Amino acid sequence: MSDESGRQQDRLDPLVRSAFREALVVALIWLGAMVWSVGVSWWLGYGRSEQELKLVLGFPEWVFWGIVVPWVSCAGISWLFAVWFVRDGELGEDLEDAEDLGLGG
């Protein structure tokens, strides 16, 4: 059975394999941010009185650490990932005649 899956992997186009890998990394980044956001917001936000409320840069503490920090971090990490690791792939030759595609145009 592993031999069959190995042959299936060999038949995948390198662009598709790269796209799957990139999509997995991005999904893991955003999944981590979601877990962080929900966990920290719950930990710092629920069950606290108004007297315990602290402000960080004008935001309630739970909003700053649970929403602002992970969103800004995800945007930065995603940008760095796109700049350093995502590459354009060769898609082949351009078609001269679009009628060959059978799109009715």
The residue extents of the domains of the chain are 26-82
Is pLDDT of 59 > 80? yes
Tokens at residue 93, please? 């030759």
CA–CA gap between residue 83 and residue 73 (Å, rounded): 15
Q: Is 64 exposed, middle or buried (0-12, 13-18, 19+ CB in 10 A)?
A: middle
Over range 51-61, report the average pLDDT. 87
Tell me the percentage of the chain whose pLDDT exceeds 70.
77
Reference 37, options 76, 74, 4, 12; nearest CA is 74
CA–CA gap between residue 39 and residue 36 (Å, rounded): 5
CA–CA gap between residue 36 and residue 24 (Å, rounded): 18
6 confidence band (pLDDT: 50, 70, 90): low
Q: Please state whether the predicted TM-score (pTM) of the whole model is above 0.75.
A: no
If you average pLDDT over every residue of the chain, what do you get? Answer: 81
32 confidence band (pLDDT: 50, 70, 90): very high
